[in-house]
Amino acid sequence: MKQSQPAYRKVQGGIVFTAKQQPQPIRKIHTPKQLIYPLTDQRGQQRSLIVEDGSHVAAGQPIAESTNRLSVPVHAACSGIISYAQPQNPDSVLITTDREQHVTTPIPLDTPLQHSPQDLIKRIEQAGVSGMGGAGYPAHLKLLAALELSPHTLILNAVECDPATTCDSTLLAEYSEDILTVAKLIMHICNCSHCMIAIEDQQTALLNHLNKVLSETATQHIRVVTVASRYPSGSEQQLVESLTDQTLRANQTALHAGAICFNIATALAIHRAIYLGLPLLQRLVTVSGPAIKQPVNIFAPIGTPLSELLSACGLLTEHVTVLQGGLMMGQAVPYETSVVLKETYSLWIAPEQHTSNEAQPCIRCGDCAVVCPVNLQPQSLYQLAQAHLWNRPELDIDLATCLECRACDLVCPSHIPLTDHFIHAKLKVQELKQSRAKALHARQRYEARQERLAKAAHKRQSKDRKRKQISDVNAMLERIKNKVDNNNPESS
Protein backbone atom coordinates (compact mmCIF):
# COMPACT_ATOMS: atom_id res chain seq x y z
CA MET A 1 0.00 0.00 0.00
CA LYS A 2 1.27 3.47 -0.86
CA GLN A 3 1.69 5.80 2.09
CA SER A 4 1.43 9.57 2.11
CA GLN A 5 4.57 11.61 2.72
CA PRO A 6 3.67 14.44 5.08
CA ALA A 7 7.15 15.93 5.62
CA TYR A 8 7.23 18.51 2.85
CA ARG A 9 8.32 22.10 3.16
CA LYS A 10 5.74 24.08 5.13
CA VAL A 11 4.03 27.04 3.51
CA GLN A 12 5.16 30.20 5.26
CA GLY A 13 2.51 32.51 6.66
CA GLY A 14 -0.99 31.63 5.59
CA ILE A 15 -4.14 31.08 7.58
CA VAL A 16 -5.56 27.91 9.08
CA PHE A 17 -9.31 27.47 8.69
CA THR A 18 -10.62 25.00 11.19
CA ALA A 19 -13.96 24.37 9.49
CA LYS A 20 -12.71 23.03 6.17
CA GLN A 21 -15.49 21.29 4.31
CA GLN A 22 -15.27 17.64 3.27
CA PRO A 23 -15.96 16.31 -0.28
CA GLN A 24 -19.66 16.39 -1.05
CA PRO A 25 -22.05 14.43 -3.27
CA ILE A 26 -22.33 15.58 -6.86
CA ARG A 27 -25.53 17.02 -8.31
CA LYS A 28 -26.45 17.81 -11.90
CA ILE A 29 -28.33 20.80 -13.21
CA HIS A 30 -31.19 20.34 -15.71
CA THR A 31 -30.34 21.37 -19.26
CA PRO A 32 -30.52 25.18 -19.21
CA LYS A 33 -32.82 26.92 -21.74
CA GLN A 34 -29.95 29.03 -22.97
CA LEU A 35 -26.18 28.74 -22.93
CA ILE A 36 -23.95 31.79 -23.42
CA TYR A 37 -20.33 31.67 -24.56
CA PRO A 38 -18.07 34.75 -24.38
CA LEU A 39 -15.83 35.13 -27.44
CA THR A 40 -12.92 36.58 -25.46
CA ASP A 41 -11.31 34.32 -22.89
CA GLN A 42 -10.30 35.61 -19.47
CA ARG A 43 -6.73 36.10 -20.69
CA GLY A 44 -8.00 38.49 -23.37
CA GLN A 45 -7.54 36.09 -26.30
CA GLN A 46 -10.16 36.38 -29.04
CA ARG A 47 -12.02 33.49 -30.61
CA SER A 48 -13.82 33.56 -33.95
CA LEU A 49 -17.20 31.98 -34.62
CA ILE A 50 -17.31 29.00 -36.99
CA VAL A 51 -21.07 28.49 -37.05
CA GLU A 52 -23.79 30.48 -38.83
CA ASP A 53 -26.33 32.63 -37.03
CA GLY A 54 -29.55 30.58 -36.79
CA SER A 55 -27.87 27.23 -37.52
CA HIS A 56 -28.49 24.08 -35.49
CA VAL A 57 -25.54 22.62 -33.58
CA ALA A 58 -25.05 19.26 -31.90
CA ALA A 59 -23.66 18.82 -28.40
CA GLY A 60 -19.88 18.54 -28.66
CA GLN A 61 -19.68 20.48 -31.94
CA PRO A 62 -17.02 23.23 -32.04
CA ILE A 63 -18.66 26.67 -32.32
CA ALA A 64 -15.71 29.03 -31.93
CA GLU A 65 -12.01 28.58 -32.48
CA SER A 66 -8.88 30.37 -31.46
CA THR A 67 -7.36 32.73 -33.99
CA ASN A 68 -3.91 31.61 -32.76
CA ARG A 69 -2.74 28.69 -30.62
CA LEU A 70 -2.85 30.79 -27.43
CA SER A 71 -6.45 29.94 -26.70
CA VAL A 72 -8.66 26.86 -27.04
CA PRO A 73 -11.80 26.18 -29.07
CA VAL A 74 -15.26 26.30 -27.52
CA HIS A 75 -17.82 23.53 -28.06
CA ALA A 76 -21.59 23.52 -27.72
CA ALA A 77 -22.41 21.83 -24.41
CA CYS A 78 -25.99 21.08 -25.53
CA SER A 79 -27.63 20.89 -28.94
CA GLY A 80 -29.71 23.86 -30.10
CA ILE A 81 -29.95 26.96 -32.27
CA ILE A 82 -27.14 29.50 -32.51
CA SER A 83 -27.81 33.25 -32.09
CA TYR A 84 -25.12 35.86 -32.56
CA ALA A 85 -24.61 38.93 -30.33
CA GLN A 86 -27.18 39.62 -27.62
CA PRO A 87 -27.89 43.10 -26.19
CA GLN A 88 -26.81 42.00 -22.69
CA ASN A 89 -23.74 40.04 -23.84
CA PRO A 90 -22.59 41.64 -27.11
CA ASP A 91 -19.23 39.83 -27.22
CA SER A 92 -20.76 36.37 -26.97
CA VAL A 93 -22.76 33.72 -28.78
CA LEU A 94 -25.93 32.12 -27.48
CA ILE A 95 -27.44 28.65 -27.91
CA THR A 96 -31.17 28.17 -27.38
CA THR A 97 -31.08 24.53 -26.34
CA ASP A 98 -33.50 21.88 -27.54
CA ARG A 99 -34.61 18.89 -25.54
CA GLU A 100 -33.40 16.38 -28.09
CA GLN A 101 -29.73 16.44 -27.15
CA HIS A 102 -28.18 15.61 -30.54
CA VAL A 103 -24.61 14.62 -29.80
CA THR A 104 -21.56 14.44 -32.07
CA THR A 105 -19.99 11.00 -32.13
CA PRO A 106 -17.06 10.86 -29.70
CA ILE A 107 -13.83 9.45 -31.13
CA PRO A 108 -11.82 7.91 -28.28
CA LEU A 109 -8.28 6.64 -28.77
CA ASP A 110 -7.84 2.88 -28.41
CA THR A 111 -4.28 2.73 -27.19
CA PRO A 112 -3.34 6.27 -26.11
CA LEU A 113 0.01 5.29 -24.62
CA GLN A 114 1.17 4.18 -28.07
CA HIS A 115 0.54 7.62 -29.55
CA SER A 116 3.20 10.31 -29.74
CA PRO A 117 3.11 13.19 -27.23
CA GLN A 118 2.53 15.65 -30.11
CA ASP A 119 -0.51 13.70 -31.33
CA LEU A 120 -1.99 13.54 -27.81
CA ILE A 121 -1.34 17.24 -27.19
CA LYS A 122 -3.10 18.10 -30.45
CA ARG A 123 -6.19 16.15 -29.33
CA ILE A 124 -6.15 17.87 -25.94
CA GLU A 125 -6.03 21.23 -27.71
CA GLN A 126 -8.89 20.26 -30.06
CA ALA A 127 -10.97 19.18 -27.04
CA GLY A 128 -10.71 22.75 -25.70
CA VAL A 129 -9.01 21.83 -22.41
CA SER A 130 -7.74 24.77 -20.39
CA GLY A 131 -6.81 25.15 -16.72
CA MET A 132 -9.93 24.60 -14.63
CA GLY A 133 -8.41 25.70 -11.32
CA GLY A 134 -9.06 29.37 -12.04
CA ALA A 135 -6.19 30.41 -14.32
CA GLY A 136 -7.67 29.19 -17.63
CA TYR A 137 -4.23 28.62 -19.18
CA PRO A 138 -4.51 26.24 -22.18
CA ALA A 139 -3.42 22.71 -21.20
CA HIS A 140 -1.71 22.10 -24.57
CA LEU A 141 0.60 25.11 -24.07
CA LYS A 142 1.67 23.79 -20.68
CA LEU A 143 2.33 20.35 -22.20
CA LEU A 144 4.24 21.81 -25.16
CA ALA A 145 6.45 23.76 -22.73
CA ALA A 146 7.00 20.52 -20.78
CA LEU A 147 8.25 18.78 -23.94
CA GLU A 148 11.02 21.39 -24.07
CA LEU A 149 11.89 21.48 -20.36
CA SER A 150 11.42 17.76 -19.50
CA PRO A 151 9.98 17.89 -15.96
CA HIS A 152 10.63 14.81 -13.81
CA THR A 153 7.52 15.15 -11.63
CA LEU A 154 3.83 15.41 -12.38
CA ILE A 155 1.80 17.06 -9.63
CA LEU A 156 -1.97 16.65 -9.62
CA ASN A 157 -3.41 19.31 -7.37
CA ALA A 158 -6.48 18.58 -5.26
CA VAL A 159 -5.43 20.95 -2.48
CA GLU A 160 -8.17 23.50 -2.42
CA CYS A 161 -6.99 26.90 -1.32
CA ASP A 162 -10.42 28.10 -0.45
CA PRO A 163 -12.00 26.89 2.81
CA ALA A 164 -15.43 26.56 1.19
CA THR A 165 -14.38 24.85 -2.05
CA THR A 166 -14.56 21.08 -2.41
CA CYS A 167 -15.01 20.43 -6.13
CA ASP A 168 -11.50 19.05 -6.76
CA SER A 169 -11.38 16.69 -3.78
CA THR A 170 -14.91 15.56 -4.68
CA LEU A 171 -13.85 14.78 -8.25
CA LEU A 172 -10.79 12.95 -6.98
CA ALA A 173 -12.92 10.81 -4.65
CA GLU A 174 -15.53 10.04 -7.35
CA TYR A 175 -13.20 9.46 -10.30
CA SER A 176 -10.02 8.13 -8.68
CA GLU A 177 -9.45 5.36 -11.28
CA ASP A 178 -9.75 7.84 -14.15
CA ILE A 179 -7.35 10.21 -12.41
CA LEU A 180 -4.77 7.43 -12.02
CA THR A 181 -5.21 6.50 -15.69
CA VAL A 182 -4.71 10.06 -16.86
CA ALA A 183 -1.74 10.50 -14.51
CA LYS A 184 0.01 7.71 -16.45
CA LEU A 185 -0.95 9.36 -19.73
CA ILE A 186 0.44 12.79 -18.74
CA MET A 187 3.60 11.11 -17.42
CA HIS A 188 3.91 9.43 -20.84
CA ILE A 189 3.46 12.77 -22.66
CA CYS A 190 5.97 14.65 -20.51
CA ASN A 191 8.24 11.69 -19.83
CA CYS A 192 7.92 12.24 -16.06
CA SER A 193 9.41 9.60 -13.81
CA HIS A 194 6.85 9.96 -11.02
CA CYS A 195 3.60 11.58 -10.00
CA MET A 196 2.34 13.10 -6.76
CA ILE A 197 -1.37 13.51 -6.12
CA ALA A 198 -1.59 16.26 -3.53
CA ILE A 199 -4.43 16.53 -1.03
CA GLU A 200 -4.89 18.28 2.32
CA ASP A 201 -3.86 16.51 5.51
CA GLN A 202 -7.35 17.01 6.99
CA GLN A 203 -8.84 14.74 4.34
CA THR A 204 -8.10 11.41 5.93
CA ALA A 205 -11.06 9.58 4.36
CA LEU A 206 -9.90 10.63 0.89
CA LEU A 207 -6.31 9.66 1.70
CA ASN A 208 -7.38 6.17 2.81
CA HIS A 209 -9.59 5.74 -0.25
CA LEU A 210 -6.82 6.77 -2.66
CA ASN A 211 -4.22 4.57 -1.01
CA LYS A 212 -6.65 1.65 -1.27
CA VAL A 213 -7.22 2.30 -5.00
CA LEU A 214 -3.46 2.65 -5.54
CA SER A 215 -2.73 -0.65 -3.80
CA GLU A 216 -5.47 -2.44 -5.77
CA THR A 217 -4.21 -1.17 -9.11
CA ALA A 218 -0.52 -1.72 -8.22
CA THR A 219 0.24 1.64 -9.77
CA GLN A 220 3.94 2.31 -9.91
CA HIS A 221 5.53 5.72 -9.45
CA ILE A 222 2.30 7.41 -8.37
CA ARG A 223 1.76 8.35 -4.74
CA VAL A 224 -0.60 10.43 -2.69
CA VAL A 225 0.99 13.21 -0.66
CA THR A 226 -0.58 15.44 1.95
CA VAL A 227 0.16 19.08 2.65
CA ALA A 228 -0.93 21.15 5.63
CA SER A 229 -4.43 22.57 5.37
CA ARG A 230 -3.19 26.10 5.49
CA TYR A 231 -4.54 28.72 3.13
CA PRO A 232 -3.19 29.24 0.40
CA SER A 233 -1.19 25.99 0.27
CA GLY A 234 -3.18 24.92 -2.83
CA SER A 235 -1.97 27.77 -5.02
CA GLU A 236 0.26 26.24 -7.70
CA GLN A 237 3.32 28.20 -6.66
CA GLN A 238 2.97 27.30 -2.97
CA LEU A 239 2.30 23.65 -3.69
CA VAL A 240 5.20 23.25 -6.10
CA GLU A 241 7.59 24.99 -3.71
CA SER A 242 6.40 22.81 -0.88
CA LEU A 243 6.69 19.50 -2.79
CA THR A 244 9.93 20.20 -4.68
CA ASP A 245 11.61 22.20 -1.90
CA GLN A 246 12.54 24.87 -4.43
CA THR A 247 11.69 28.55 -4.46
CA LEU A 248 10.13 30.00 -7.57
CA ARG A 249 10.66 33.61 -8.58
CA ALA A 250 7.70 35.76 -9.63
CA ASN A 251 8.00 35.00 -13.34
CA GLN A 252 8.81 31.29 -12.94
CA THR A 253 6.44 28.34 -13.29
CA ALA A 254 6.43 24.79 -11.91
CA LEU A 255 8.55 23.71 -14.89
CA HIS A 256 11.47 25.71 -13.47
CA ALA A 257 11.36 23.41 -10.46
CA GLY A 258 11.28 20.30 -12.67
CA ALA A 259 7.54 19.75 -12.26
CA ILE A 260 4.36 20.08 -14.25
CA CYS A 261 1.21 20.76 -12.28
CA PHE A 262 -2.42 20.19 -13.23
CA ASN A 263 -5.55 20.82 -11.27
CA ILE A 264 -7.66 17.66 -10.78
CA ALA A 265 -10.55 18.93 -12.92
CA THR A 266 -8.14 19.71 -15.78
CA ALA A 267 -6.61 16.25 -15.50
CA LEU A 268 -10.09 14.71 -15.67
CA ALA A 269 -10.90 16.83 -18.76
CA ILE A 270 -7.73 15.46 -20.40
CA HIS A 271 -8.90 11.96 -19.54
CA ARG A 272 -12.31 12.63 -21.15
CA ALA A 273 -10.64 14.09 -24.26
CA ILE A 274 -8.34 11.12 -24.88
CA TYR A 275 -10.10 8.07 -23.45
CA LEU A 276 -13.70 9.06 -24.25
CA GLY A 277 -13.12 11.40 -27.20
CA LEU A 278 -15.18 14.11 -25.48
CA PRO A 279 -14.45 17.83 -25.59
CA LEU A 280 -14.74 19.94 -22.45
CA LEU A 281 -18.50 20.50 -22.12
CA GLN A 282 -19.24 20.74 -18.41
CA ARG A 283 -17.54 21.33 -15.12
CA LEU A 284 -18.08 20.74 -11.40
CA VAL A 285 -18.73 23.96 -9.48
CA THR A 286 -18.82 24.36 -5.70
CA VAL A 287 -21.63 26.69 -4.72
CA SER A 288 -21.54 27.75 -1.08
CA GLY A 289 -22.08 30.73 1.22
CA PRO A 290 -24.67 32.10 3.64
CA ALA A 291 -27.19 32.97 0.91
CA ILE A 292 -27.85 29.39 -0.24
CA LYS A 293 -29.57 26.55 1.59
CA GLN A 294 -26.57 24.24 1.74
CA PRO A 295 -23.26 23.96 -0.07
CA VAL A 296 -23.34 21.83 -3.21
CA ASN A 297 -21.06 20.52 -5.90
CA ILE A 298 -22.96 20.74 -9.12
CA PHE A 299 -22.11 19.65 -12.67
CA ALA A 300 -23.11 22.46 -15.00
CA PRO A 301 -22.70 22.77 -18.78
CA ILE A 302 -20.13 25.43 -19.71
CA GLY A 303 -22.12 28.54 -20.66
CA THR A 304 -24.87 28.04 -18.03
CA PRO A 305 -26.11 31.45 -16.81
CA LEU A 306 -25.21 31.91 -13.13
CA SER A 307 -28.79 33.01 -12.44
CA GLU A 308 -30.00 29.57 -13.54
CA LEU A 309 -27.30 27.76 -11.58
CA LEU A 310 -28.08 29.70 -8.41
CA SER A 311 -31.81 29.04 -8.62
CA ALA A 312 -31.02 25.32 -8.93
CA CYS A 313 -28.99 25.58 -5.70
CA GLY A 314 -31.78 27.23 -3.68
CA LEU A 315 -31.16 30.91 -2.99
CA LEU A 316 -32.30 32.15 0.43
CA THR A 317 -32.59 35.77 -0.62
CA GLU A 318 -33.13 37.62 -3.88
CA HIS A 319 -30.34 40.20 -3.65
CA VAL A 320 -26.98 38.50 -3.41
CA THR A 321 -23.31 39.17 -3.97
CA VAL A 322 -21.56 36.46 -5.99
CA LEU A 323 -17.82 35.96 -5.58
CA GLN A 324 -16.50 33.95 -8.53
CA GLY A 325 -13.41 32.10 -7.30
CA GLY A 326 -14.65 31.35 -3.78
CA LEU A 327 -14.69 33.07 -0.41
CA MET A 328 -11.03 34.13 -0.26
CA MET A 329 -9.87 34.89 -3.78
CA GLY A 330 -13.28 35.46 -5.36
CA GLN A 331 -14.08 38.51 -7.45
CA ALA A 332 -17.59 39.97 -7.34
CA VAL A 333 -19.40 39.35 -10.64
CA PRO A 334 -22.82 40.55 -11.84
CA TYR A 335 -24.63 37.25 -11.65
CA GLU A 336 -27.48 38.37 -13.92
CA THR A 337 -25.09 38.47 -16.90
CA SER A 338 -22.30 36.07 -15.90
CA VAL A 339 -22.03 32.42 -16.93
CA VAL A 340 -20.22 29.24 -15.94
CA LEU A 341 -16.80 29.32 -17.64
CA LYS A 342 -14.24 26.53 -17.90
CA GLU A 343 -12.38 28.15 -14.99
CA THR A 344 -15.43 28.73 -12.73
CA TYR A 345 -14.64 26.32 -9.92
CA SER A 346 -16.24 27.98 -6.93
CA LEU A 347 -18.98 30.51 -6.22
CA TRP A 348 -19.45 32.12 -2.82
CA ILE A 349 -22.95 33.52 -2.42
CA ALA A 350 -23.66 36.08 0.30
CA PRO A 351 -26.60 38.41 0.96
CA GLU A 352 -25.97 41.76 -0.68
CA GLN A 353 -24.11 43.99 1.79
CA HIS A 354 -24.94 47.64 1.92
CA THR A 355 -22.45 48.46 4.66
CA SER A 356 -18.90 47.34 5.20
CA ASN A 357 -16.31 48.13 7.82
CA GLU A 358 -14.75 51.46 7.01
CA ALA A 359 -10.99 51.33 6.47
CA GLN A 360 -8.95 52.98 9.23
CA PRO A 361 -5.32 54.17 9.09
CA CYS A 362 -2.61 51.51 9.29
CA ILE A 363 -1.42 51.01 12.86
CA ARG A 364 1.73 49.15 11.74
CA CYS A 365 0.85 46.07 13.77
CA GLY A 366 2.60 43.82 11.22
CA ASP A 367 -0.14 41.16 11.23
CA CYS A 368 -0.41 41.30 7.43
CA ALA A 369 3.31 40.48 7.06
CA VAL A 370 2.98 37.49 9.40
CA VAL A 371 0.33 35.81 7.26
CA CYS A 372 1.73 36.72 3.84
CA PRO A 373 2.69 33.38 2.21
CA VAL A 374 5.25 34.98 -0.11
CA ASN A 375 7.05 36.97 2.56
CA LEU A 376 5.96 40.44 1.45
CA GLN A 377 5.47 43.45 3.71
CA PRO A 378 1.92 44.32 2.67
CA GLN A 379 1.84 47.46 4.81
CA SER A 380 4.90 48.92 2.97
CA LEU A 381 3.48 47.86 -0.37
CA TYR A 382 0.24 49.60 0.57
CA GLN A 383 2.12 52.82 1.36
CA LEU A 384 3.90 52.78 -2.02
CA ALA A 385 0.58 52.18 -3.74
CA GLN A 386 -1.11 54.96 -1.75
CA ALA A 387 1.68 57.34 -2.77
CA HIS A 388 1.16 56.37 -6.44
CA LEU A 389 4.85 55.52 -6.79
CA TRP A 390 4.14 53.34 -9.82
CA ASN A 391 7.66 53.65 -11.22
CA ARG A 392 9.42 52.22 -8.16
CA PRO A 393 11.11 48.90 -9.15
CA GLU A 394 10.47 47.39 -5.69
CA LEU A 395 6.73 48.03 -6.11
CA ASP A 396 6.76 46.26 -9.47
CA ILE A 397 8.68 43.23 -8.11
CA ASP A 398 6.52 42.89 -4.99
CA LEU A 399 3.28 43.25 -6.94
CA ALA A 400 4.40 40.54 -9.35
CA THR A 401 5.07 38.29 -6.33
CA CYS A 402 1.70 38.96 -4.65
CA LEU A 403 -0.70 36.02 -5.07
CA GLU A 404 -3.80 38.19 -4.41
CA CYS A 405 -4.71 35.62 -1.78
CA ARG A 406 -6.36 38.22 0.56
CA ALA A 407 -4.82 36.65 3.67
CA CYS A 408 -3.56 40.13 4.63
CA ASP A 409 -7.06 41.63 4.26
CA LEU A 410 -8.49 39.01 6.56
CA VAL A 411 -6.21 39.82 9.51
CA CYS A 412 -5.92 43.59 9.11
CA PRO A 413 -7.46 45.17 12.25
CA SER A 414 -7.86 48.45 10.34
CA HIS A 415 -10.03 46.71 7.72
CA ILE A 416 -7.85 48.03 4.89
CA PRO A 417 -8.74 46.24 1.63
CA LEU A 418 -5.04 45.73 0.91
CA THR A 419 -5.49 43.28 -1.97
CA ASP A 420 -7.85 45.61 -3.83
CA HIS A 421 -5.17 48.31 -3.57
CA PHE A 422 -2.59 45.84 -4.94
CA ILE A 423 -4.83 44.80 -7.84
CA HIS A 424 -5.38 48.47 -8.68
CA ALA A 425 -1.63 49.15 -8.38
CA LYS A 426 -0.87 46.22 -10.72
CA LEU A 427 -3.11 47.80 -13.36
CA LYS A 428 -1.41 51.19 -12.90
CA VAL A 429 2.08 49.68 -13.17
CA GLN A 430 0.95 47.78 -16.24
CA GLU A 431 -0.42 50.99 -17.79
CA LEU A 432 2.84 52.80 -17.02
CA LYS A 433 4.85 49.99 -18.63
CA GLN A 434 2.60 50.04 -21.67
CA SER A 435 2.85 53.82 -22.07
CA ARG A 436 6.64 53.59 -21.66
CA ALA A 437 6.79 50.80 -24.25
CA LYS A 438 4.59 52.92 -26.53
CA ALA A 439 6.86 55.98 -26.08
CA LEU A 440 9.96 53.84 -26.71
CA HIS A 441 8.35 52.36 -29.79
CA ALA A 442 7.41 55.85 -31.07
CA ARG A 443 10.97 57.11 -30.44
CA GLN A 444 12.46 54.08 -32.22
CA ARG A 445 10.11 54.67 -35.17
CA TYR A 446 11.06 58.39 -35.24
CA GLU A 447 14.77 57.57 -35.16
CA ALA A 448 14.37 54.90 -37.82
CA ARG A 449 12.50 57.42 -40.02
CA GLN A 450 15.20 60.06 -39.50
CA GLU A 451 17.82 57.48 -40.49
CA ARG A 452 15.82 56.50 -43.58
CA LEU A 453 15.42 60.17 -44.59
CA ALA A 454 19.14 60.84 -44.08
CA LYS A 455 20.02 57.77 -46.17
CA ALA A 456 17.62 58.85 -48.94
CA ALA A 457 19.04 62.39 -48.92
CA HIS A 458 22.56 61.01 -49.08
CA LYS A 459 21.56 58.75 -51.96
CA ARG A 460 19.90 61.67 -53.75
CA GLN A 461 22.96 63.87 -53.25
CA SER A 462 25.33 61.25 -54.61
CA LYS A 463 22.99 60.69 -57.58
CA ASP A 464 22.92 64.47 -58.21
CA ARG A 465 26.68 64.60 -57.90
CA LYS A 466 27.06 61.75 -60.39
CA ARG A 467 24.56 63.35 -62.75
CA LYS A 468 26.47 66.66 -62.53
CA GLN A 469 29.78 64.91 -63.15
CA ILE A 470 28.33 63.19 -66.24
CA SER A 471 26.87 66.44 -67.55
CA ASP A 472 30.21 68.23 -66.88
CA VAL A 473 32.05 65.51 -68.81
CA ASN A 474 29.50 65.70 -71.64
CA ALA A 475 29.85 69.51 -71.77
CA MET A 476 33.60 69.17 -71.86
CA LEU A 477 33.39 66.58 -74.64
CA GLU A 478 31.05 68.91 -76.54
CA ARG A 479 33.49 71.78 -76.12
CA ILE A 480 36.40 69.59 -77.34
CA LYS A 481 34.33 68.42 -80.29
CA ASN A 482 33.45 72.00 -81.21
CA LYS A 483 37.04 73.03 -80.92
CA VAL A 484 38.15 70.13 -83.14
CA ASP A 485 35.43 70.97 -85.67
CA ASN A 486 36.46 74.64 -85.69
CA ASN A 487 40.11 73.75 -86.28
CA ASN A 488 39.32 71.31 -89.10
CA PRO A 489 39.25 73.18 -92.47
CA GLU A 490 37.30 70.38 -94.15
CA SER A 491 34.38 70.73 -91.72
CA SER A 492 33.79 74.39 -92.71
Q: In the set 298, 374, 384, 429, which binds ligand SF4 (CB under 6 A)? A: 374
Pick between residue 93 and residue 368 the one whose CB is nearest to ligand SF4: 368
Q: Which stretch binds ligand SF4 (CB under 6 A): 35-43, 246-254, 311-319, 406-414?
A: 406-414
| Interface with ligand SF4, residue 368, by CB under 6 A | yes
| Interface with ligand SF4, residue 367, by CB under 6 A | yes
Site for ligand SF4 in 450-479 (CB under 6 A): none
Three-state DSSP string of the chain: CCCCCCCCCCCCCCECCCCCCCCCCEEECCCCCEEEEECECCCCCEEEECCCCCCEECECCEEEEECCCCCCCEECCCCEEEECCCCCCCCEEEEEECCCCCECCCCCCCCHHHCCHHHHHHHHHHCCCECCCCCCCEHHHHHHHHHHHCCCEEEEECCCCCCCCCHHHHHHHHCHHHHHHHHHHHHHHHCCCEEEEEEECCCHHHHHHHHHHHHHHCCCCEEEEEECCCECCCCHHHHHHHHHCCCCCCCCCHHHHCEEEEEHHHHHHHHHHHHHCCCCCEEEEEEECCCECCCEEEEEECCCEHHHHHHHHCECCCCEEEEECHHHHCEEECCCCCECCCCCCEEEEEECCCCCCCCCCCCCCCHHHHHCCCCCCHHHHHHHHHCCCCCCHHHHHHHHHCCCCCHHHHHCCCCCCHHHHHHHHHHHHHHHHHHHHHHHHHHHHHHHHHHHHHHHHHHHHHHHHHHHHHHHHHHHHHHHHHHHHHHCHHHC
| Interface with ligand SF4, residue 413, by CB under 6 A | yes
Q: How far is the CB of 412 from ligand SF4 (least distance, A)?
A: 3
| Interface with ligand SF4, residue 379, by CB under 6 A | yes
Pick between residue 128 and residue 378 the one whose CB is nearest to ligand SF4: 378
| Interface with ligand SF4, residue 172, by CB under 6 A | no
| Interface with ligand SF4, residue 89, by CB under 6 A | no
Q: In the set 376, 385, 395, 425, which binds ligand SF4 (CB under 6 A)? A: 376
Q: In the set 403, 421, 426, 429, which binds ligand SF4 (CB under 6 A)? A: 403
Q: In the set 76, 405, 425, 429, which binds ligand SF4 (CB under 6 A)? A: 405
Site for ligand SF4 in 414-443 (CB under 6 A): 414, 416, 418-419, 422
Q: How far is the CB of 423 from ligand SF4 (least distance, A)?
A: 9
| Interface with ligand SF4, residue 408, by CB under 6 A | yes
Q: How far is the CB of 420 from ligand SF4 (least distance, A)?
A: 10
Pick between residue 198 and residue 416 the one whose CB is nearest to ligand SF4: 416
Pick between residue 60 and residue 330 the one whose CB is nearest to ligand SF4: 330
Q: In the set 340, 372, 395, 425, which binds ligand SF4 (CB under 6 A)? A: 372
Q: In the set 309, 407, 425, 429, which binds ligand SF4 (CB under 6 A)? A: 407
- Which residues are at the interface with ligand SF4 (CB under 6 A)? 362-368, 371-374, 376, 378-379, 382, 402-408, 411-414, 416, 418-419, 422
